[in-house]
Amino acid sequence: MPIDEIRAFLNDYFEVLQTQDMALFERVFHKDCVLFSQQDGVQVTRPFAAYRDMVQGREAPAKGNFPRQEELLLVDFLSPTMAVLKVRLRLFNNIMEDHLNVMKHEGRWMIYAKHFYRVGSV
């Protein structure tokens, strides 16, 4: 069932953000993925390579013993192989909301575009 595949994919996505497992990163984010945000009047555009370097270069939230909070808010299937996902998660002391454009690639779901926004902090 596609929703079960999406939930399994999101488990990997959340794991990547918390542990910075770079092998898993390569399975979650497509190499052509681009990330976008606007925060405090500043627009951020990060291609895959820049985001990969950033994630790889920071200390993993899991090492800081930050509590995990992860929630799937919305799944909108455009087709059997394309969907938009809305998730909320804690990353360090930030509450983030992400909109993920995902497609199936070689039999597995991958992120092709990500819009993210810090909705709060704890």
Query: Other C-beta atoms within 10 Å of 73: how many?
Result: 11
Q: For the chain, where are the alpha helices, taking DSSP H only?
A: 2-19, 22-28, 48-57
Q: For 29-94, where are the alpha helices, taking DSSP H only?
A: 48-57
pLDDT of 98 strictly over 80: yes
- Residues of the chain with pLDDT > 90, as a percent, come to 98
Residue pLDDT, tens place only, 100-122:
999 999 999 999 999 999 999 99
The full set of domain ranges for the chain reads: 2-121
Q: What is the pLDDT of residue 1?
A: 75
Question: 2-121: which CATH architecture?
Answer: Roll (3.10)
27-45 burial, b at 16+ Cβ within 10 Å, e below that, comes to: bbbbeebbbebeeeeeeee
Interacting residues of 122 by C-beta distance below 8 A, sequence separation 6+ = 90, 93, 94, 95
Its pTM stands at: 0.94
Contact by Cβ (8 Å): 100, 84: yes
